[in-house]
Amino acid sequence: MKKLLQYEVLLNCVLIEEGFRDCFLFWCRKTYKISDYINKLFPTLILNRYTGSNKLLQLKNSDVLLISKRIINREEYDTDAKLGQLLGYITANEYQKLDKTLDVYDYVVQVIIEQKEINLKVNLYNELSNNKICYETNRIKIEESLRRNKLISNQIKEVRVQERFIKSESLTSEKII
């Protein structure tokens, strides 16, 4: 398993254990290796098979896991909004209403891990919104959760949120015309 993949799983499992996230959605070709890795480091976490109807995930349905502290029933994620809430997205209820013809804010939560001479940049998740969101509260909670974990706390250099403003091409075109 590659280092970034290991850290992505490790960091998200810590966030679940600490109660920041209810679950983490993960798909991988070699699910059994991930399962062994998680069971070894986080024996209390449950690996639920994703059986939802999300079109993006349907193609990979057999390899998708919902990692959590408890058994998650399909009814708890039978809509994209419910799934988004379980995964901890601030704008979960608004995602279906996201208007991509308007300007969009893209937020990426990153953790910088110190490893010998290099720093690894691990993206935990990203979120899109038509409105500007204050992620500082979440960033602080994520950092506190990760620093409480003895396994990784000494490797964390920084937790940050990268905000990108994406101008709508259609709006820009209209303004030029």
Dump pLDDT digits (tens) for 49-80. 877 766 665 554 457 788 999 999 989 988 88
153 φ/ψ sector (left φ>0, alpha ψ -120 to 50, else beta): alpha
**Two structure tokens written together for 78:** 């039978």
Do residues 63 and 9 lie in contact, with contact meaning Cβ atoms separated by under 8 Å? no
Residue pLDDT tens, the chain, 177 long: 457 678 888 999 999 999 988 999 887 666 567 788 888 999 999 988 877 766 665 554 457 788 999 999 989 988 888 888 888 888 777 767 777 778 888 888 999 998 777 788 888 888 888 888 878 888 899 999 999 998 888 889 999 998 888 887 654 444 444
Query: Each residue of 105-119: pLDDT tens digit?
Result: 888 899 999 877 778
Domain around 165:
3-176
Give the chain's domain count: 1
**Two structure tokens written together for 55:** 């079109």
